Amino acid sequence: MLTGCGASGWETDCETDAQGIIRCVGEHRPAMPQLDAELLDGSSFDPASVRGQVLVVNFWGSWCPPCRAEAADLEATYQATRDQGVAFLGINIRDERDKAQAFEQGRVSYPSVFDPGSRLALDFNIPPNSIPATMIIDRDGRIATVVRREIRQEDLQPLVEQVAAEGIRADPVDG
């Protein structure tokens, strides 16, 4: 089944399952947008630091109750998969830096970028009203999976492991 009404661009070429998980395969996987961004601590995020890894990108806000509920599951999945060449990155939207930093403290050990204007969320085609949202980017920098709702470890970890098991294409996407 293809995505429903209102889908645009690459989403119409990807499949959506009964749980609302969007899966893109083969040539239907779009390249991930540029991630030129500032981390919550004020330093710059270096996209080269995750090149060749599976990247799990989670869009969140400190004001979002489902984001609080899923944080421990995201951290547990990160800890369980990072030795498989998996990196995690949070993207904090529509928030104040001090509230976002307080939210992360003791919840997650992976970094988050600060996107108060939701520019990155829109670049990734994540409407601000669909937070939390999680994307799995393959080792070639292409969007493999999108979940626009709260997710638990038992659902996320198999998705991440599946993409991690794919390896790297012979003709990686430039980026």
What are the tokens at 10? 């690459």
With a cut of 60, say whether residue 146 has pLDDT above it: yes
Main-chain phi, psi angles of 55, to 5 degrees: -120, 120
Of 73, 51, 64, the residue nearest 91 (C-alpha)? 64
**Cβ-Cβ contacts under 8 Å for 119 (sequence gap 6 or more):** none
This model's pTM is above 0.75: yes
Per-residue pLDDT band at 11 (split at 50, 70, 90): low
SS3 of residue 76 by DSSP? helix
So what's the pLDDT on residue 9? 57
The one-letter amino acid at 161? E
Per-residue pLDDT band at 10 (split at 50, 70, 90): low
**Cβ-Cβ contacts under 8 Å for 46 (sequence gap 6 or more):** none
> Could you report the per-residue pLDDT of 33-79, keeping only the tens digit for each?
999 899 999 999 999 999 999 999 999 999 999 999 999 999 999 99
With a cut of 60, say whether residue 16 has pLDDT above it: yes
- The chain-wide mean pLDDT, for the chain, equals 89
The one-letter amino acid at 165? A
